[in-house]
Amino acid sequence: MDCQQIRNFSIIAHIDHGKSTLADRLLEGTGAVEKREMKDQLLDDMELERERGITIKARAVAIRHRLDGKTYELNLIDTPGHVDFHYEVSRSLTCCEGALLLVDAFQGVEAQTVANAYAAMENNLTIIPVMNKIDLNHARPVEVAEEVEQALAIPTDEIVKVSAKTGFGIDELLRAIIDHIPAPQGRPEAPLQAMVFDSHYDEYRGAITYVRIMNGTVQRGQKIRFLRGGTVHEVHEIGQFVPGPRPTEQLAAGQVGYLICNIKSLDLVHIGDTVSVPGDLGVEALAGYQEPQRMVYCGLYPSDGQDFEELRDALNKLAINDPSFEFEPETSDALGFGFRCGFLGLLHMEIVQQRLEQESDVDLVQTAPNVTYEVVLKTGEVLQIHKPQEVPDVGDIEEFRHPIAKVSIVVPSEYIGPVMKLCQERRGNQLNTEYLSPLRAMLTYEMPLAEVIYDLHDKLKSASRGYGTMNYEFVAYRPEDLIRLDILVNGNRVDALAIICDRTDADRRGRAVVTKLKKEIERHMFEVAVQAAIGSRVIARETVPALRKNVTAKCYGGDITRKRKLWAKQREGKKRMKSIGQVDIPQKAFMAVLDKGSDKS
């Protein structure tokens, strides 16, 4: 395939703007898939993705399309739409020459539309603005086009209007892709140089490596070398996804496809690595990718300590196909042996947890998520703090720093008031307000990341009746007057319940946490005291009173089985709790520390 007839592109969009549906329509419009073979959202092949309507992993599909007597190869590299997976978006973008910037004709420009468009511009991609859902009765194409122009400086007349649902405008879009997106450059006869932009592990075939060939040609049966990894492999199969895998004899410069080399461990396939041939042919390694930035950490513990190894296996399996997720063993006095896990964001955390639950039988206790802090010791040493337990003694701390994020929020003007109030409550520092149109504005704040990750998105949705959208990025660590707040249950400090918070906020947080814990901890056969303390100073206390009466009156022949089963079931319930001292603490209680005491619900 001549480079001139290849187009490599991604679709970037805010979540729910119809990216997957558009991808389906493109496949269908080009005859790559018969209509009757279509399942909705073909590219989302993980069950979970389908369930949540979110595309998590980038996938590449090669589409043959005939236009004006020529056959083109269009490689669609799918990207996820959620802010947590921004890292995956940028991975896809480096393999493309163009991007379809998809905007919902009713919703208009949203926070992630802007973030994704900037990412595409940074990668020097040609952007084709596409307005989707043009068939909707309440579509407002004129205003939305103005928003695109205002927010992104893209002329309104370049916008292609489509309805991914009905198929309207798809042909025009295909023409625009071919006309406007540059063909890839690269020489098929040059030494092999290919970018590994993704990989996944197949139980039967081993590692499947996704590549974009920058230069040269790769053929079945030849030997390849990973430049960074340094390993050499024989290529057993080359192919493209159409959308199912279809083997080919070779892939040449400009093309996108997969390699199967009988690689039994994904550890050997580094995303961002460069594929070349063995020996020294002077091929340079490509720039590769930035390490994904994990923003959120939490502890994952097996409810039953016996399941530790099983949990490790399950985490390993997950990490294989998700390099943005990391974990290392940790120990908690309260929870025993478990793992500290790092995630890109809260959604990522939720998804990993759900997958763990679906794919293994391990009952999990999750500690409240926290961000990473920095502590500068008196000695000058800088520590990265991934969990509150790691905070050193106050006396040793020279400076305590927390991460600050830049948050962009797009919201209809009528909700600016409530959203500003929300951001102020979250210690936001307003940087900018920009009107995208008379009706919509983009607010930019700097805010402690800790205030962002827990629930800002949910709160934004309720403050704006669901219309507000947000995006955030890490800016820097800044000094702050922070303390570690300890929680004690019947006098025992529960390390997994400790939190790091602002000193001025400690009273409120402390009270909120003990109040919440009082609700979550069931009454025991003895009184349970729940306290919040800074060092040895108790700042809040609640008491869970002892049970006074809990006894079955009637217990005769027919009741025995029923009662035994009931009590055995209660025992199973107790097993899922963590026993600290003699207090059974339910899993939910470990999330109690997220209760900030600011909400009037």
Partner 1 sequence: MVVATPSVTWNGPRSAYVHIPFCSHHCGYCNFTVIAGRGDLIENYLRALRCELAELKFPRPVDTLFLGGGTPTQLNKNELRSLLELTLTWFPLTEGGEFSVEANPADVETEKIDLLVAWGVNRISLGAQSFQSHKLKTLERDHDAAKIHQAVELASSRIASVSLDLIFGLPNESLTDWSRDLQAALALRPNHLSTYGLTYEKGTHFWSRQQRGQIQQLSEEAEREMFELAINHLTAAGLEHYEISNFARPNHRCRHNEAYWSGAEYYAAGAGASRFVNGLRETNHRSVVNYLRLVLSGKSPVAQREQLAPEDAAREQLVFGLRRLAGVDRNDFHRKTGFTIEALIEAPLDTFLKLGLLEWVQNRLRLTREGLMVSDSLWPAFL
Question: Of 485-524, which residues contact partner 1 (CB under 8 A)?
Answer: 524
Mark the segment that binds partner 1 (CB under 8 A) among 31-39, 63-71, 87-95, 554-562: 554-562
Our finding on whether 574 is near partner 1 (CB under 8 A) is yes
Which residue, 153 or 553, is less far from partner 1 as judged by CB? Answer: 553
Mark the segment that binds partner 1 (CB under 8 A) among 283-291, 319-327, 418-426, 568-576: 568-576
Tell me how far apart the alpha carbons of residues 371 and 87 are, in angstroms, rounded to a whole number. Answer: 18
Mark the segment that binds partner 1 (CB under 8 A) among 3-11, 129-137, 479-487, 553-561: 553-561
Smallest gap from Cβ 364 to partner 1, in A, equals 21
Determine the number of helices (DSSP H) and then strands (DSSP E) in the chain: 13, 33
Which residue do the tokens 């020097």 mark? 124
Q: Which of 70, 223, 378, 564 binds partner 1 (CB under 8 A)?
A: 564
Q: Which of 525, 536, 600, 601 binds partner 1 (CB under 8 A)?
A: 525
Using an 8 Å Cβ cutoff, are 120 and 416 in contact? no
Smallest gap from Cβ 549 to partner 1, in A, equals 4
Q: Which of 557, 588, 592, 595 binds partner 1 (CB under 8 A)?
A: 557
Smallest gap from Cβ 518 to partner 1, in A, equals 17
Smallest CA-to-CA distance from 592 within 509, 506, 529 is with 509
Amino acid occupying residue 352: V
Q: Which of 262, 265, 316, 570 binds partner 1 (CB under 8 A)?
A: 570
Smallest CA-to-CA distance from 282 within 195, 215, 336 is with 215
Tell me how far apart the alpha carbons of residues 480 and 478 are, in angstroms, rounded to a whole number. Answer: 6
Question: Residue 573: enclosing H or E segment and its boundaries?
Answer: helix 557-575
Smallest gap from Cβ 551 to partner 1, in A, equals 5
Question: Of 153-212, which residues contact partner 1 (CB under 8 A)?
Answer: none
Amino acid occupying residue 407: V
Smallest gap from Cβ 331 to partner 1, in A, equals 22
Smallest gap from Cβ 301 to partner 1, in A, equals 20
Q: Which of 35, 138, 537, 571 binds partner 1 (CB under 8 A)?
A: 571
Which residue, 377 or 560, is less far from partner 1 as judged by CB? Answer: 560
Question: Residue 62: enclosing H or E segment and its boundaries?
Answer: strand 60-67
User: Residue 230: left if φ>0, alpha if ψ -120 to 50, beta else—which one?
Assistant: left
Torsion of CA 368, 372, 373, 378, to 10 degrees: 120
Mark the segment that binds partner 1 (CB under 8 A) among 48-56, 105-113, 387-395, 565-573: 565-573
DSSP codes, 470-485:
EEEEEEEEEE--EEEE
Other residues' Cβ atoms within 10 Å of the Cβ of residue 475:
14
Tell me the C-alpha to C-alpha distance, in Å, between residue 169 and each of 106, 133, 182: 17, 11, 21
Our finding on whether 282 is near partner 1 (CB under 8 A) is no
Smallest gap from Cβ 581 to partner 1, in A, equals 11
Which residue, 167 or 573, is less far from partner 1 as judged by CB? Answer: 573
Mark the segment that binds partner 1 (CB under 8 A) among 262-270, 295-303, 322-330, 562-570: 562-570
Q: Which of 287, 582, 598, 599 binds partner 1 (CB under 8 A)?
A: 582
Which residue do the tokens 């919703």 mark? 107
Q: Which of 282, 551, 600, 601 binds partner 1 (CB under 8 A)?
A: 551
Which residue do the tokens 């949990």 mark? 311
Smallest gap from Cβ 562 to partner 1, in A, equals 9
Tell me the C-alpha to C-alpha distance, in Å, between residue 555 and each of 241, 551, 563, 564: 65, 10, 8, 11
Tell me how far apart the alpha carbons of residues 401 and 254 are, in angstroms, rounded to a whole number. Answer: 46
Mark the segment that binds partner 1 (CB under 8 A) among 93-101, 308-316, 355-363, 548-556: 548-556
Tell me how far apart the alpha carbons of residues 246 and 337 are, in angstroms, rounded to a whole number. Answer: 45
Our finding on whether 527 is near partner 1 (CB under 8 A) is no
DSSP codes, 121-149:
HHTTPEEEEEEE-TT-TT--HHHHHHHHH
Our finding on whether 568 is near partner 1 (CB under 8 A) is yes
Which residue, 124 or 561, is less far from partner 1 as judged by CB? Answer: 561
Q: How many residues bind partner 1 (CB under 8 A)?
A: 26
Question: Of 396-415, which residues contact partner 1 (CB under 8 A)?
Answer: none
Tell me the C-alpha to C-alpha distance, in Å, between residue 11 and each of 20, 207, 211, 429: 9, 26, 18, 33
Smallest gap from Cβ 114 to partner 1, in A, equals 50
Tell me the C-alpha to C-alpha distance, in Å, between residue 346 and each of 45, 258, 457: 22, 31, 10
Q: Which of 36, 537, 549, 600 binds partner 1 (CB under 8 A)?
A: 549
Smallest gap from Cβ 494 to partner 1, in A, equals 19
Q: Which of 379, 504, 536, 550 binds partner 1 (CB under 8 A)?
A: 550
Task: Tell me how many degrees the CA angle 411-437-21 measures, rounded to the nearest 5.
Answer: 65
Our finding on whether 379 is near partner 1 (CB under 8 A) is no
Instruction: Check residue 543 and report its DSSP letter.
Output: E
Smallest gap from Cβ 584 to partner 1, in A, equals 10
Using an 8 Å Cβ cutoff, are 90 and 61 in contact? no
Q: Which of 561, 578, 595, 598 binds partner 1 (CB under 8 A)?
A: 561
Considering only CA atoms, give the Rg of the chain.
27
Q: Which of 354, 421, 526, 599 binds partner 1 (CB under 8 A)?
A: 526
Sign of CA dihedral 323, 329, 331, 337: positive
Q: Which of 264, 560, 598, 599 binds partner 1 (CB under 8 A)?
A: 560
Smallest gap from Cβ 544 to partner 1, in A, equals 13
Binding site for partner 1 (CB under 8 A): 524-526, 547-558, 560-561, 563-564, 567-568, 570-571, 573-574, 582
